Amino acid sequence: MTRAAVLVPALLLVVSAVTGCGGSEQDDYCAAVKEHQQELSDIVGSGDPDALLRALGTFRDLQGRAPGDITDEWQQVVTSLEALQQALEDAGVDPATYDRAHPPAGLTPAEKARIDAAAAQLGSGTTLRALQDLDQQARDVCKTPLTL
């Protein structure tokens, strides 16, 4: 067997492993988008104050399946949600009932500031743009929006 005959199949194996075997990474992600679409629609459509936090598990799943070209956007969204979740947990605050204008008794100024900072990051242009980009990518590539 020639050296080229050995190297070509080995190179193809490496390339297919890196690229996700001809689009299977993209196919897996699109299947996950379709799988989670109704759930995300229900959560986001609920209008509950903690809706995005309740979607965190789903967002983590999509992040884990996402193709490389959108990992930064998923990182932005998930990290922002995790920071808010952590700030609320550290303060012992229920995200479903938290009211910034009327914080619960015992919430320290430092805890309130941390919650405010995490909420501001979540609502920042960077995070909102990432969410918009992710939805647009799902529409363009998967032919399915993230929510109905």
- List pLDDT tens digits, range 7-46: 333 333 333 333 334 457 899 999 999 999 999 999 989 9
- List pLDDT tens digits, range 37-84: 999 999 989 999 899 999 999 999 999 999 999 999 999 999 999 999
Q: What is d(CA 27, CA 40) in angstroms, rounded to the nearest whole number?
A: 19
- List pLDDT tens digits, range 103-129: 999 999 999 999 999 999 999 999 999
Claim: this prediction has a pTM higher than 0.75: yes
Say if residues 36 and 62 touch (Cβ distance below 8 Å): yes
Q: Which of 43, 55, 111 is nearest to 80 (CA)?
A: 55
Q: Which residue has the tokens 């399946």?
A: 65
Residues with Cβ within 8 Å of residue 30, at least 6 apart in sequence? 138, 141, 142, 143, 144
**What pLDDT is stored for residue 23 in this prediction?**
57
Q: What is d(CA 38, CA 102) in angstroms, rounded to the nearest whole number?
A: 33
